Structure 1
Amino acid sequence: MTLPSTRCSSPSRIVAGLLLAALWLVGCAASAPSERSSDTHGPVVEGGPTPPGAGPRLQDPPEVVSRDGFLRTTIVVERRKVRVGNRQLYATTYNGAYMPPTLRVRPGDRIDLTMINKTDKYTNLHTHGLFVSPRAPSDDIFISIKYGQSYHYTYQLPLSHPTGTFWYHSHADMLSAPQVAGGESGILVVEGLKQHLPPSLRNITEHTIALKDFQVQGDAIKTHPLSIGASTHRTVNGQQNPAIHIRPGETQLWRLANIGANIYY
């Protein structure tokens, strides 16, 4: 996706342009990593009482973070009943959650990822937007992981890899749309953006804001047939209508990503 350009010359507008670059919408698709809440990206902000009609406070997805140049993790694909928005529905989950962990890496890192398929449909993984090899065992979209099988992916990011907000999802032939609609998608962040900001903005609060939507069929997320014009339930990080707390005049960094199957914003 092309980022918004700016011809402004004043420092404040340049900073605004850099922040806007972090807010782009994504479209399609050695030691153990640590997991953390993105609250560590900045101070917890109390923005006053939750406004009337708003839902719960926004919860950023959990994270798996690279360490010493490596990110090692496992993604288990399985169908299970989980909380989706304000409902309990059967979904196709990554690691048992409708909103799976954000994978956070740096340019030059290597991602070692094992995918285990516990569903009755074949699946695979596509790291949408990364500058990595399209050949196995990297980002080969023709890999088919059948029920009970696993596959070990290895992605080597170049040192010159651009920073930004990307996503990972199923790209199984003929099944990508229903599997993403069912829940098979998550966020992938390549660090480095904050080094381009002035020192006063490098420790601001950061939020990952993943937009996913679902339709309902009985006690499950509907995956077939899909229609871009159908009525749908929109979620933010798997929550419906969450409240983001922010002080008057405060600057925050929001990473927005549309990781749904077929709707646009």
Structure 2
Amino acid sequence: MNRRTFLALAALSGATGTAGLAAGCGSGTGHHPAPPPLDLSTPLRIPPLLHPPADLDGVRRFELIMAAGQFELLPGKPTTTWGFNGAYLGPTLRAGRGDRIAMTVRNALPEASTVHWHGMRLPARMDGGPHQLIAAGHRWTPTWTIDQPAATTWYHPHPHGATAKHVYRGLAGLFLIDDDHDAELPTGYGTDDIPLILQDKNLDDHGRIDGDPLKGPFGILGDRILVNGTYNPRFDVTTTRLRLRLLNASNARMYQLAFADRRPFHLVATDGGLLAAPVETGTLALTPGERAEIVVGFDPGDNVVLRTLDTGIDIGMGDLDLIRFVAAEQLRPAPGLPAGLPAPAPIVPPADAKVRHFTLSGRDSINGRPMDMQRIDEVVPAGAVEIWEVENSTGASHNFHIHEVAFQVLNAQGTPTGGHKDTVFTPAHTTVRLAVQFGPFSDPVEPYMYHCHVLRHEDAGIMGQFVTVAPGTESAVPRTYAGPAHAH
């Protein structure tokens, strides 16, 4: 592996060739039949695309309804699941840089929830964290203007103490951001630009979701893998190249992705947008919440499986096949892969950048303190670039997500490496240094979150909150949350 490849992959996952995130713990409860051998023959479900035209006032209006429904996670075995605008998962939302967004989220669930726009740069009041709770039977109407580079972001619930359960039941979806300066990459949604939402589930004999997402040190490690809610999936390839938008929407599982024939592919984007140039590799690590975009080539008649490799400790399951790609005998040509990509500018901390240190010392706290909804842990000047040091002092792996921001991993010399991200792998007994770029939004009351994105850990208390305020006013900001309950 050359230096450039190593740095790009290290920025994506915190390390390369590392062991699985969930360290062989906590595979759920109850009896689960051994999954039968897969033939990967079920047509891949592509989430519907929701891309409304702008109104005369220039606003794109979206509506999402959170509700329970019936969905066949296993063929012929309908079960109760939760979803957005349907029984399971949600539509892929699409908008462009500069678009004004008006969102209506209706909660038809039997309990309160939230919707967090993971990876979106927006004001804290619109972020959908645990303070923006939507009561059952009520709605939430956030508005914002998209002002960030092209990226694959996503949305999911974030109610404090219940995120793992709500996501595990099916509440998740992609939110794609376009940019006028986007690269010449495949853009035919569902044809050559393919979303792949990766999840693992424990399913009982009746195909029902089983297991307690909060049981055990890591929560759920499922024995069956779903892609876009499809078990045993296949995708029919009609072009010589595909752009795959990968999302790890699992509660705890880390994926070490590779094609069965070990064909190379090119990493073109991480959480926060495009890389400066495509990086050729044969494996890709994704921890929960992380996204990546890759471009892979196909020849006529190809029949190849994308799998996650055995890390040696993930409950002894060996390699797991995810999806089969079957290429037609005649393929439409795709444009060549560009040598350079319009990546966002590197995030370079100033010489006097403030350094903040966060220690993950267990399964329920950061810096020795469990999450407290009424405590503001950090106050940051809006627009700042800081250095955050995330130390994992435990023998188990974690990862770390910061709301609103973009960051880059720093090497030992303090130089940013790889692409923009918002979620990073933090292996056991390591410290990851981040150059963190905060947005311009100032609000001394409503906080953003930072937390481990292993959802069992987030719910248990490995989470803190910060506000961004007008520079120079940090000392005047109260460290106690002063906002309303926000039940809508």
TM-score, normalised on structure 1?
Answer: 0.71
**Of residues 164, 168, 174 in structure 1, which corresponds to 2:155?**
168
Structure-to-structure mapping, 1:119-130, within 5 angstroms: 119-130=109-120
Instruction: From the superposition, tell whether residues 202 and 121 of structure 1 become closer, same or farther in structure 2 (CA, over 3 Å).
Output: closer
Instruction: From the superposition, tell whether residues 175 and 114 of structure 1 become closer, same or farther in structure 2 (CA, over 3 Å).
Output: same
Structure-to-structure mapping, 1:1-265, within 5 angstroms: 7=4, 53-68=39-54, 70-86=59-75, 87-135=77-125, 138-141=126-129, 142-158=131-147, 161-192=148-179, 195-197=182-184, 205-216=192-203, 220-222=208-210, 224-226=212-214, 227-228=218-219, 230-246=221-237, 250-265=240-255
Answer yes or no: is the 8 Å Cα contact 2:164–2:213 preserved in 1. no
User: After the TM superposition, which of the residue ranges 100-109 and 202-211 deviates more from structure 2?
Assistant: 202-211
Instruction: From the superposition, tell whether residues 229 and 73 of structure 1 become closer, same or farther in structure 2 (CA, over 3 Å).
Output: closer
String of CA shifts for 1:216-262, please: whole Å, max 9, x gaps. Answer: 36664236244546343211111112112226x81111111112222
String of CA shifts for 1:99-119, please: whole Å, max 9, x gaps. Answer: 310001111112211111122
The answer for the alignment partner of 1:33 in structure 2 is: none
Answer yes or no: is the 8 Å Cα contact 1:79–1:119 preserved in 2. yes
Q: Which amino acid aligns with 1:83?
A: E
Question: Equivalent residue of 1:196, what SS?
Answer: coil
Instruction: From the superposition, tell whether residues 173 and 192 of structure 1 become closer, same or farther in structure 2 (CA, over 3 Å).
Output: same
**Larger % of helix: which?**
1
In 1: Cα distance, 2:246 partner to 2:176 partner: 11
String of CA shifts for 1:111-155, please: whole Å, max 9, x gaps. Answer: 2111111222110110000111112xx114111111111111213
Matched residue count: 215
Instruction: From the superposition, tell whether residues 251 and 219 of structure 1 become closer, same or farther in structure 2 (CA, over 3 Å).
Output: closer
String of CA shifts for 1:148-177, please: whole Å, max 9, x gaps. Answer: 11111213211xx12111110000111111
TM-score, normalised on structure 2?
Answer: 0.40
Q: Which amino acid aligns with 2:183?
A: H
Structure 1's unaligned 5+ residue stretches are: 9-16, 26-51
Instruction: From the superposition, tell whether residues 202 and 120 of structure 1 become closer, same or farther in structure 2 (CA, over 3 Å).
Output: closer
Larger radius of gyration: 2
Q: Which amino acid aligns with 1:162?
A: P
The answer for the alignment partner of 2:377 in structure 1 is: none
Q: Which amino acid aligns with 1:114?
A: T
String of CA shifts for 1:33-68, please: whole Å, max 9, x gaps. Answer: xxxxxxxxxxxxxxxxxxx91222223210101423
Answer yes or no: is the 8 Å Cα contact 1:208–1:256 preserved in 2. yes
In 2: Cα distance, 1:250 partner to 1:83 partner: 32
In 2: Cα distance, 1:102 partner to 1:184 partner: 12
How far did 1:206 drift? 1.3
Q: Which amino acid aligns with 1:213?
A: D
User: After the TM superposition, which of the residue ranges 71-80 and 218-227 deviates more from structure 2?
Assistant: 218-227
In 2: Cα distance, 1:65 partner to 1:202 partner: 14
Q: Which amino acid aligns with 1:61?
A: P
In 2: Cα distance, 1:6 partner to 1:236 partner: 32
Q: Which amino acid aligns with 2:84?
A: Y
Q: Which amino acid aligns with 1:235?
A: L
In 1: Cα distance, 2:134 partner to 2:44 partner: 34
How far did 1:182 drift? 0.6
Question: Equivalent residue of 1:119, what SS?
Answer: coil
The answer for the alignment partner of 1:28 in structure 2 is: none
Question: Equivalent residue of 1:245, what SS?
Answer: strand
How far did 1:7 drift? 4.6
Q: Which amino acid aligns with 1:131?
A: R
In 1: Cα distance, 2:53 partner to 2:3 partner: 35
